[in-house]
Every structure is written in C-alpha cells, then in structure tokens.
Amino acid sequence: MGATIRITPGIYYEKPLILDKSLRIEGVTEGDRLPRIVLVEVGTAFLIRGSSRMTVKLQGLTIEALAQDPFSDKSSIGVQVLAQGPEEVRVTLTGVQIRSYQGIAIGGDPQGERSVSVEVEVNVVNTSILTAGLGIGIGMSLGRLILRESELRGPPVPLSALGAPLYGVLLLNPPPSQRIEAVLAKTRIENFGIGLMASASSKLEQGRIDLKAVENVIALNLGDGLYLLGDRVDAELSRNEILGNGGYGVKLAFPECAPEGARPEFRFQGLIQGRDNSLRNNKRGNLCPEDFNWPPSFVKAPESP
C-alpha cells in the first residue's frame, strides 16, 4: 500500500500536490474538525499521476481549490486522476469534503497514446462535493467509477446567472480502446445545469459507456436530471428519485426532445434497463421521448392515496 501520512486538524496552505506512488493520507479528526487543505494557486490540489501500479487513499480531509485565473478559462480541481500507462491505478476517497470549480477529474494523459489500455478505478464514498462557478462535480473520460453514499451540489448562486451548463456527473468521449464504467448508488445530485450526462458515439470512434444508477436522488437541477447521447451508451436505472428538475427527468438524444430549432448530433441508440424509478414534478416532462421503448415498470406507479 505504501506509506501513511496522518494530518491533524488545522488549515494547511499548499501548492498543487503531485502523488506518483502508493500512499495513504488520513485526516485525524477532532469532533467535527477535519484537516483543511487550501490550494493557494490555480491548479489541482491533489494530482494523482501514475504510470505503474499504485494505490492512493484520501480519508477525512477537507479540500478547497477555489483559485481561478481571471485572464483565462483556467480554474482549479480538487482531485485529478491522470493515468499514464497500462498498470492499474486505484484511488479511494472516504469522508472527504471538496469545494472546488471541479471536484474530481478522471482521465488519461492527453499526450499519451490513445490505443494503450489504461486501468483506472476510483471509489468515492461518503464524500461531499460543492462546486463553484462553471464547475463540474465529477468528470471522467475513462476508467471505472464507484460513487456511493455521497452528495454533489452545484454553486449556491442561481445557475441561470452563470450563462452556461454545469454537470453533476459528466461521462464523456472515452477513447476507442477504453470504456467508462460508472456505478452510482445512494448519492444525491442537485443544483447543476444537468444532473448526469453520458455521451459516446461511434461516429467519433469512441469507446463505450456503461452506467448503473441505483437509489440515487437527482433533483432541483436547472435542466435535465439525466441526459444520454450516442450509440455507445448503455444505462441501467433502478429505484432512483428524479424530481423537480427544470427540464426532463430522463432525456434521450432524439430530435423531439431537443430545443426548438436544434437537432442532437449524436442520437441515442443505446440500451436502457431498470425499474421502479420515481419521476415527478420535472418541468418539461418525466421522460423524453415518451414513446420510446422504455422497459416495463421503468417508472414506479404512483402510490394510491
């Protein structure tokens, strides 16, 4: 596993920290007090960068990465996992609080060979992410994500005032040799532009996305609760509560679901499975398109009064 570093409660002002070997960083709690890591410049608070087999665990920390360059579009990331080779990189966050423009970013080396298989697994448990500005809760382009018993919230200011969509969870554009596997369970996603979006298309020679979401609450987002695009996205959705969103509860990329005058570039042609989802009070409708071949019992029948 590597060395263990224990940090006592207090405020620690740090430049970006690069972790390139197995390590466990553990906060020592005193009541409700956690060690607080504050990033003092634009960048990534914890950059986990591996080209060989490694395991990193972050536990019991508060991470603040709110620095932003006013003269560019650069903003800070709480935790970034950047895989650089074929060996497995495993990252676990437990009991972590993140306040940042982007909470967690997961991907491969942008300068690396796209045909090289990269093994990345990120486990996020009992963790809260509060984004600022035009941020994203969790964004990933490859690997496996297990997100459970956590909370993702968009910025406290009205999203319409920010002028651009934000995403609670964004699964996007896996390279052709890669796959995104995302498992979300008992997690709350709210106050974003779109709660969860997944997009992958063979037209762009992209890999596959497999999404499984069980017993989550996706609520109060400015736009859609879930939005799925492309022909390489499969989703299993069961026992989720999707409510009070400003767009559709679950939207697939079809012309009839797009804003007037717009056409989705990557029509959804994937597989939808699941059952017993509670969808209600979504402003534009609970499902789009309504005449899609949704699975039997995909929507839980309302309880009798």
pLDDT digits (tens, 9 = 90+) for 54-80: 999 999 999 999 988 777 777 899 999
What is the DSSP annotation of the chain?
--EEEEE-SEEEEEPPEEE-S-EEEEE--BTTB-EEEEE-SSSEEEEEEESS-EEEEEES-EEEE--B-TTSS-B-EEEEEEE-SSSEEEEEEES-EEEEEEEEEEEE-TTS-TTS--EEEEEEES-EEEEEEEEEEEEESSEEEEEES-EEE--SS-GGGT-S--EEEEEE---TT-EEEEEEES-EEESSSEEEEEE--GGGT--EEEEEEES-EEE--SS-SEEEESSSEEEEEES-EEES-SSEEEEES-GGGSPTT---SS---SEEE---BEEE--TTEEEESTTS-PPTTSBPPPPP-
- pLDDT per residue as tens digits for the range 142-192: 999 999 999 999 987 655 555 555 899 999 999 887 899 999 999 999 999
Q: Using a pLDDT cut of 70, give the percent of the chain over it.
A: 90
For position 111, what pLDDT does the model report?
47
Better-predicted residue by pLDDT, 250 or 178? 250
- Report d(CA 212, CA 155) in Å as an integer: 26
Which pLDDT band holds residue 285 (cuts at 50, 70, 90)?
very high
Better-predicted residue by pLDDT, 71 or 24? 24
Which pLDDT band holds residue 303 (cuts at 50, 70, 90)?
low
Q: Using a pLDDT cut of 90, give the percent of the chain over it.
A: 74
Q: In this model, does residue 100 exceed pLDDT 80? A: yes
Mean pLDDT, the chain, rounded, equals 90
For position 165, what pLDDT does the model report?
59
